[in-house]
A and B are shown apart, each in its own frame.
Chain A
């Protein structure tokens, strides 16, 4: 179990809408190794986002067990989950979700706000060098609306990386980007993965999916296919 970062055992998710209950995840088993680049594919409504929410500790499964780095996080309370999200996970969203009134640099620093030790001058240097590495050295004081989609997504990546996460979660990270920007973002992902970062990415675009090392396909709440790239 030591080198398995994520273990899901029979994860089910049932949504209750009034009297009708609707089962979105119908028993997901999954093991993700340290350093993997896993892609989850599937048609719209198949349950990809729901699964990623659960892996990202933003949502709780109706039943099943979830181990993250050996800890059974499905038993943690909300305070502990917030701590894990802050220390171990990084999120990339399709719609970037940057804070609109903050600059690129401030957005990158935001996760450190929720650490008791606060900011040091070092953190700021680290954030700037992250932005430089992602090609945004000139735009560190720009507001999100002054940046292109690709640039915004790169700020979001820097924000996810500032905490040195163990696991990077990305839900359709290229969904709002043109093909050139998509390619840039995928190159960054591959580079990060090559440095040892574990990545789980959701997409329904087969071209994008090819960037991963392993692809799992979900259909109607259950994994149906797996292939190594």
Chain B
């Protein structure tokens, strides 16, 4: 049985350099295709994770005009008209689950000689549940602590690690912009959310103390709202809009707030990732096409070089179909060899590069299947022309040339 395959394709391994050359193109094509697909998959998974922390039931009122760009809500001007009282006024809308005023700024945080510059977020006791953040240690704010301007703080996971290492910080006192705050809790690791903010690099304090004692203002930057039922969102959005417009005495034209939904952020984000991934996909398919063309070119060369062999086969009884099939399968073997090596290389690169670029680590099953499938298809296409040429070789070349 082996003898049959040896006699059919023994010629494939006769000229090794030629074989290696045609395989290299395929390796590059397949591994890049696989890598790009794997990154696409990982990006999808990451986005899904992000939506978990900024879910479809969450919306945000932001002071001033906001542009959503590359998945990030960018405040285009500072507005001072959004007040904590606005947040209270929104509570009367039916179907709202949680509301938290929100003020954000930079802060310098210190403990026992360690200094960290991080993001300070002033919120209320509902914020953690609203964002679905869980605590690794300690407890949430109490409503009373918010109302009575208590200097208490919940640390983001990274900040905790930077200030305290492995020690338990609960009960310790840290300095935030030189004011002493008592640590009451530590957030579990969260990662980067839909707004591209690293939620592990922050400290949370009551918004009351944040605006009064730390930043000394009377306004807030935004209001986080979550609703009971996401399908009610458009209706609730309308009510928020009318209540705030009335309170601020503004019209559509000079509105001083913007409502941002997870959906808006997601849309902008998937648009950019889709653009990105279709770009890389076309590039890697192009690589594969070039690889396949390389196989075609080198197979055509091989056919010219092996005219004598083809002539012999025909003279001793090979039909055109036999020769066609032999060379078609030969080019599929070449592309598959390259394909297998490309998959191995691609998987290796994926497993190395995903963590490097902060993507969740996945084993790229679907990318492996698609790139293997594409390789076989391209292999067949690459072989069609040279195989056709091979099948048409005239056996009288044997008697003519020596």
Contacts and interface: CB of A to CB of B under 8 A. Distances in A.
A113 interface: yes
A115 B316 CA distance: 10
A85 interface: yes
B14 interface: yes
Interface stretch (B2-10, B166-174, B267-275, B335-343): B2-10
A110 B316 contact: yes
A159 B3 contact: no
A34 interface: no
B320 interface: yes
Contacts of A53: 396, 399
Given A58-B394, A101-B14, A113-B4, 7 more contacts: A82-B319, A91-B398, A95-B402, A99-B312, A106-B6, A113-B313, A114-B313
B322 interface: yes
B398 A106 contact: no
Nearest to B7: A113
Interface in B304-341: 308-309, 311-322
Contacts of B11: 99, 101
A111 B10 contact: no
Residue from B8, B311, B316, B395 having most chain A Cβ neighbours under 10 A: B316
Contacts of A58: 314-315, 394-396, 398-399
A58 B311 CA distance: 10
Secondary structure type dominating chain B contacts: helix
25 contacts: A49-B400, A52-B399, A58-B314, A58-B315, A79-B319, A79-B320, A79-B321, A82-B314, A83-B319, A85-B315, A85-B316, A86-B316, A93-B402, A95-B398, A97-B311, A99-B10, A102-B6, A102-B7, A113-B4, A113-B318, A114-B317, A114-B318, A114-B319, A159-B316, A163-B316
Interface of B: 3-4, 6-8, 10-11, 13-14, 308-309, 311-322, 394-396, 398-402
Most-contacted residue by chain B among A83, A87, A95, A159 (CB, 10 A):
A95
Contacts of B313: 110, 113-114
A182 interface: no
Interface in A148-195: 159, 163, 171, 175-176
Contacts of B400: 49
B3 A86 contact: no
B317 to A, nearest CB: 2
Nearest to A162: B316
Nearest to B13: A101
A94 interface: yes
B13 to A, nearest CB: 8
A101 B306 CA distance: 11
Contacts of A78: 319-320
A109 B316 CA distance: 11
B249 to A, nearest CB: 90
B10 to A, nearest CB: 5
A100 interface: yes
B396 A83 contact: no
A91 B316 CA distance: 8
A94 B321 CA distance: 28
Contacts of B309: 99-100
A82 B317 contact: yes
A159 B401 CA distance: 20
Contact of B3 (A49, A97, A109): A109
Nearest to A113: B7
A56 interface: yes
A98 B14 CA distance: 14
B394 to A, nearest CB: 8
B317 A87 contact: yes
A109 B7 contact: yes
A82 B318 contact: yes
A97 to B, nearest CB: 5
A113 to B, nearest CB: 5
A78 B394 CA distance: 11
Contacts of A83: 317, 319
Contacts of A101: 10-11, 13-14
A52 B313 CA distance: 18
Interface centre among B309, B312, B396 (most CB of A within 10 A): B312
Q: Which of A79, A93, A98, A109 has the most CB of B within 10 A?
A: A93
Contacts of B395: 58
Interface string A14-26: 0000000000000
